[in-house]
Amino acid sequence: MATKLEYIWLDGYKPTQSLRSKTKIEKDFSGKLEDCPYWSFDGSSTEQAPGGSSDCVLKPVFICPDPQRKEAYLVMCEVLTSTHEPHPSNGRATIEDDDNDFWFGFEQEYFLWDPETSKPLGFPAAGYPSPQGPYYCSVGAQNAFGREIVEEHLDACLDAGLNVEGINAEVAAGQWEFQIFAKGAKEAGDQIWMARYLLERIGEDYGVSINWHCKPLGSLDWNGSGMHANFSNTTLRTAGSKETYDIICEAFRPAIEEHIAVYGADNHLRLTGKHETASITDFSFGVSDRGASIRIPLYTVEKGWNGYLEDRRPNSAADPYKVAAVIIKTVKSAKV
């Protein structure tokens, strides 16, 4: 029997990488990751190699059923050079979490975008809808736009075996969110990228594009889009001490620029100190504070300072691999 394997990878475009994919047909495929062969592609067409030496290598790292095709799987891949070294665009290879001690939950916001009007769904062709307020977690045709796409995406993710923990309409019209959790930073990134891929592909059927930009409505009084990163390791999950949390949070203060560099392009448009954000140039943390750089969830405090933290600065277009990598590096640097 012939099986369709959709190999998916990230290109080399800057400052924001895009998804690429192509289909490989395998006969008598077992369905196991270890039986996915390495493959190659033309890196000169993806900003990852010169034309005179264009081969880049695809290394399969995550597999799940393809819920929309017969006899098919989705295969997330790392990009390697022709000598099988991690390509410079390969953020996944920079994650230092081989024992999966770090757990990540990403809250992925996005806009459903009408390519004909260049506005979100729910925005009239001329002018604007009512100010934000009634759209968050809304119901009803006057407030919720594109639900059929969102519901189809949720079902597709669940059918693929992705660990989606929820969805909701967000603060702006046409803005939505899904949340994914995984025990292990690499798998959390794999699943976010796989969910993004499915959403993009479903959008094709509706003639709707997915806008991942953190502030697609510019300086207007509408919320931007984030990808809040909830994270923990054994230390955070078993700290039992406010002091430990303070030390770890303070380790982020001198690393502001390093984090912002991988938290998504144009984040200065979103991190203004307004619309539930901290200023991009400042650093703060606080219990239940959605206006802080890092929020200490009330859950963590109520569990006796055993829990997790939420970095609210990563934006919707950020690479979850690179976000996880820098968070892990900073947490490990804390002297606890």
Q: What does the pLDDT read at residue 235?
A: 98
Identify whether residues 56 and 171 lie together within a single domain. no
Identify whether residues 83 and 121 lie together within a single domain. no
Residue 47: give its domain's CATH number: 3.10.20.70
Decide the pairing of beta strands 103-114 and 209-211.
antiparallel
Residue 31 sits in which domain range?
2-90
Q: Which residues of 204-222 are buried (b: 16+ CB within 10 A; e: fewer)?
A: eeeebebbbbbbbbeeeeb
Q: Show the 3-state SS of the chain.
A: CEEEEEEEEECCCCCCCCEEEEEEEEECCCCCHHHCCCEEEEHHHCCCCCHHHCEEEEEEEEEEECCCCCCEEEEEEEEECCCCCECCCCCHHHCCCCCCCCEEEEEEEEEEEECCCCEECCCCCCCCCCCCCCCCCCCCCCCCCCHHHHHHHHHHHHHCCCCEEEEEECCCCCEEEEEEEEECHHHHHHHHHHHHHHHHHHHHHHCCEEECCCCCCCCCCCCCCEEEEEEECHHHHCCCCHHHHHHHHHCCHHHHHHHHCCCCCCHHHHCECCCCCCECCCCCEEECCCCCCEEECHHHHHCCCCCCEEECCCECCCCHHHHHHHHHHHHHHCCC
Q: What does the pLDDT read at residue 271?
A: 94
Identify whether residues 257 and 144 lie together within a single domain. yes
Decide the pairing of beta strands 2-10 and 19-27.
antiparallel
Residue 95 falls within a domain, yes or no?
Answer: no
Identify whether residues 173 and 107 lie together within a single domain. yes
The token duo for 206 is 């509706």
Q: What is the pTM of this model?
A: 0.96
Identify whether residues 117 and 56 lie together within a single domain. no
Distance between CA 127 and CA 50 in Å, rounded? Answer: 45
Identify whether residues 68 and 117 lie together within a single domain. no
Boundary-marking domain end, from 65, 90, 115: 90
Q: What does the pLDDT read at residue 275?
A: 72
Segment 19-44, tens digit of pLDDT: 999 999 999 999 999 999 999 999 99
Distance between CA 140 and CA 148 in Å, rounded? Answer: 12
Split into its structural domains, the chain has a count of 2
| Amino acid sitting at position 312 | R
| Amino acid sitting at position 242 | K
Q: Does residue 276 come out as left (phi exceeding 0), alpha (psi in the -120 to 50 range) or beta?
A: left
CA distances (Å), origin 137, targets 22, 279, 320: 36, 26, 25
Identify whether residues 253 and 137 lie together within a single domain. yes
Q: Does residue 71 come out as left (phi exceeding 0), alpha (psi in the -120 to 50 range) or beta?
A: left
In sequence order, the β-bridge partners of residue 6 are 23, 74
Boundary-marking domain end, from 69, 90, 111: 90
Identify whether residues 122 and 33 lie together within a single domain. no
Segment 285-327, tens digit of pLDDT: 999 998 999 999 999 999 999 999 999 999 999 999 999 999 9
Residue 329: give its domain's CATH number: 3.30.590.10
Half-sphere exposure of 130 (CA within 13 A, CB side): 7
Report, as ranges of residue numbers, the positions in the chain whose pLDDT lies below 70: none
Q: Whole-angstrom distance between the N-terminal and C-terminal Cα of the chain?
A: 55
| Amino acid sitting at position 263 | Y
Q: What does the pLDDT read at residue 276?
A: 77
Identify whether residues 292 and 166 lie together within a single domain. yes
Residue 97 falls within a domain, yes or no?
Answer: no
